[in-house]
Amino acid sequence: MDSTGPSRTTSIALAFMAVIWISPFSWLILNAFNPLSTGQLEIPRAVGLDNFALAVSGNAGRQFINSMLIAAGTATLSVIVGISAAYPLSRLRIPGRNAFLWTLVLLRMLPSAGVLVPLYFAAQRSGLLNQLGVIIALTVLNLPFTLLLLKNFFDTVPIELEEAAYVEGASLFQIVTKIVLPMSRAGIAVVWFYSFTGAWNEFLLPLIFARVQDAFPMSVGLYAAFGQQGAINYGFLTAFSIIYAAPAVGVYFLLRRNMNTGFAGVGVKG
């Protein structure tokens, strides 16, 4: 008997955990491809894409576009604002910088619901109770994390490279775009992904700020799909759930090379 192999008890425990983990996904996939779905975990008597066609058309399709606009807009704006503020924090000896960074840490711990009321009245006075208001509000809430992470990555870029480029006549814009940003792309990828997935999954802010059904994202649509008119269409709901999860998975695989480095906390290799 191989003493280094897993014991029978361990194998049974792992198999049991695998079944528990796989069961919800099996139920999701089997019902999504079953045009006659009843919500039961069973082999479908017919297979088709009717549920997916329903989940990407009409109001559901518009919700997908709204989610993409909010998530991509929030991620891009968070990165732009974060870079503009984090680079000076990394390079300049600003009085009170450490106190400011600790304040960011404390702000990051605040739940978004705790600042929802002031954000709502600020958006109301500014005429931003719409999707743009959602993007700006989510960007503001993301800023503490964005600033801290990007500053740490900018700190890893050797300042000697920037000084050498400056001596050669490069402008500040050229130094940032040609040296700092390419060497910090892992951190930028993590910030973009984190902001994208956070905005994609956000429910409360779009529900309160958007106010009209045509502007609601998929997170609100998923909630509504659980019981519109007192009945649940399981086929539509499962197909809608798969489509809802797909963009975050797709973005991860697009950025995974940089994100693996970013999540490991590695900026520039010496």
Report in angstroms the alpha-carbon separations of 118 from 75, 121, 131, 182, 259: 22, 5, 17, 37, 34
What is the percent of the chain with per-residue pLDDT over 90, rounded to a whole number? 20
Mean pLDDT value across residues 195-206:
91
Asked if residue 9 is part of any domain, the answer here is: no
The SS3 of residue 38 is coil
Mean pLDDT value across residues 243-250:
90
Tokens of 65: 């576009």
132-142 confidence digits (pLDDT tens): 999 999 998 88
pLDDT at position 79, please?
A: 94
Please report which confidence band the pLDDT of residue 67 belongs to, taking 50, 70 and 90 as the band edges.
very high
83-111 confidence digits (pLDDT tens): 999 999 888 888 888 788 888 777 777 77
Asked if residue 270 is part of any domain, the answer here is: no
CA distance 89 to 73: 24
Check whether residue 107 and residue 27 sit in a common domain: no
Please report which confidence band the pLDDT of residue 117 belongs to, taking 50, 70 and 90 as the band edges.
confident
CA distance 68 to 56: 13
CA distance 203 to 116: 12
Report in angstroms the alpha-carbon separations of 251 from 60, 133, 149: 21, 24, 19
CA-based R_g, the chain, Å: 23
CA distance 149 to 132: 25
Q: What angle do CA 261, 263, 266 make, to 5 degrees?
A: 45
Check whether residue 82 and residue 189 sit in a common domain: yes
Check whether residue 220 and residue 101 sit in a common domain: yes
CA distance 9 to 194: 39
Q: Tally the domains of the chain.
A: 2
Tokens of 258: 């940089």
CA distance 228 to 231: 6
Check whether residue 128 and residue 117 sit in a common domain: yes
Check whether residue 86 and residue 201 sit in a common domain: yes
User: Is pLDDT of 210 > 50?
Assistant: yes
Check whether residue 121 and residue 216 sit in a common domain: yes
Check whether residue 81 and residue 200 sit in a common domain: yes
pLDDT at position 265, please?
A: 56
Residue predicted with more confidence, 73 or 256? 73
pLDDT at position 256, please?
A: 79
Residue 194, domain extent: 65-225
Check whether residue 173 and residue 118 sit in a common domain: yes
Asked if residue 266 is part of any domain, the answer here is: no
CA distance 90 to 151: 5
User: Is pLDDT of 1 > 50?
Assistant: no
Check whether residue 185 and residue 77 sit in a common domain: yes
Helices within the chain (DSSP H only): 8-32, 50-55, 58-91, 97-109, 116-126, 131-155, 159-167, 172-175, 181-183, 185-201, 204-210, 218-225, 234-263
Asked if residue 32 is part of any domain, the answer here is: yes
Angle between helices 234-263 and 58-91 (to 10 degrees): 20
Asked if residue 6 is part of any domain, the answer here is: no
User: Is pLDDT of 176 > 80?
Assistant: yes
219-232 confidence digits (pLDDT tens): 888 888 776 656 77
236-245 confidence digits (pLDDT tens): 888 999 999 8
Check whether residue 37 and residue 143 sit in a common domain: no
12-50 confidence digits (pLDDT tens): 888 888 877 777 888 888 888 988 888 787 788 888 889
Asked if residue 153 is part of any domain, the answer here is: yes
Here the CATH number for the domain that contains residue 121 is 1.10.3720.10
CA distance 151 to 168: 25
Check whether residue 40 and residue 116 sit in a common domain: no
pLDDT at position 64, please?
A: 93
Asked if residue 3 is part of any domain, the answer here is: no
Check whether residue 43 and residue 156 sit in a common domain: no
How many residues are given for the chain?
A: 270
Asked if residue 123 is part of any domain, the answer here is: yes
